[in-house]
Structure 1
Amino acid sequence: MSTRTVLPEGWKRPRGYANGMAARGELLAIAGQIGWNADEQFESDEFGAQFRQALANVVAVVEAAGGSPANLISLTIYVTDKREYLGQIDAVGRAYRELIGKHFPAMALVGVNELLEDRAKVEIQGLAVLPSDAPEA
């Protein structure tokens, strides 16, 4: 798998995300993951904890397909309350660094009125490009 960050000439380098990512390999689409565990149980109603769990779920899907967080090329983060997201930005950043590290794919943050699961405060959908030698799932 090969990836490269795309930054148009003259644009300021973004902080915490890429404007574009180009990649070659097997494409993995990751369904929207919310902040519940493998048993579909919420362990917290706190935004930061739900963000961490949702991101861990994304990483778990990538790893189950034979990849790693560095294979992520795009994340779309849906939040039900922008102010709660901003109020928990330190917890969000800590969780991101612990689970993804210093890899910053293309990202979008979208505010929504609600998510399908009533207790969900965040949902993260992703795209990854797996290395050609990744084991078949």
Structure 2
Amino acid sequence: MEILQPAQWKRPRGYSHGVVARGTWVFVAGMVGWDNACEEFDSVDFVDQARRALENIVTVLEEAGARPEHLVRLTWYVTDRDEYLSSLERLGQVYREVIGRHYPAMSVVEVKGLVEPGAKVEIEATAVIPDGEGEPGRPAVFRENGHTQERGEDT
């Protein structure tokens, strides 16, 4: 997997401008902050719901033999842009706890409402399990200005 960073663009924080990946695609439906039975919300708090939605994504990925580092795209649907923006610090911490320091291409879209009553956030995910993956996961690489390096703490 390669993270794309056009040379003339500022490097984003918390997401990537683009990703190139080859392998088996995994499409995860929009996940909300439901409990394990997919019946009710554990919390009305935005960040708590986001944590649970991310955990639910990881659970679905595991069913396919995928891991968070295989994510290539996340699309977040939020019902309140201001609540999302005011929660970014806590949200970033939760994201790193659940997903790690892997930042796929990401979009956030404010919507009028979500289908599930009480849902404040819904997250769709796409992952790609690299061809030949069976051994431990290969780290993402970061490509900028024609140079390639493994994506780590400081990228």
Query: When the two structures are superposed, what TM-score results if normalisation uses the length of structure 1?
Result: 0.92
Larger Rg: 2
Residue-pair matches, total: 132
**In 2, Cα distance between equivalents of 1:56 and 1:91:** 16
Query: When the two structures are superposed, what TM-score results if normalisation uses the length of structure 2?
Result: 0.82
1:35 aligned partner? 33
- Residues 32 and 123 of structure 1 are in contact (CA less than 8 Å); yes or no, is this contact kept in structure 2? yes
- Residues 14 and 92 of structure 2 are in contact (CA less than 8 Å); yes or no, is this contact kept in structure 1? no
Question: What stretches of structure 1 of length at least 5 have no aligned partner?
Answer: none
Q: How large is the Cα RMSD of the aligned pairs?
A: 1.1
Matched residue type, 2:3? T
1:23 aligned partner? 21
Matched residue type, 1:7? Q
Runs of at least 4 residues of structure 1 off by over 3 A? 131-134
- Residues 79 and 112 of structure 1 are in contact (CA less than 8 Å); yes or no, is this contact kept in structure 2? yes
**In 2, Cα distance between equivalents of 1:131 and 1:43:** 34
Q: Deviation of residue 110 (structure 1)? A: 0.3
1:1-137 maps to which residues of 2 (within 5 A)? 3-40=1-38, 41-132=40-131, 133=133
Question: What stretches of structure 2 of length at least 5 have no aligned partner?
Answer: 135-155
- Residues 67 and 131 of structure 1 are in contact (CA less than 8 Å); yes or no, is this contact kept in structure 2? no
Q: Percent identity?
A: 47
Q: Deviation of residue 123 (structure 1)? A: 0.2
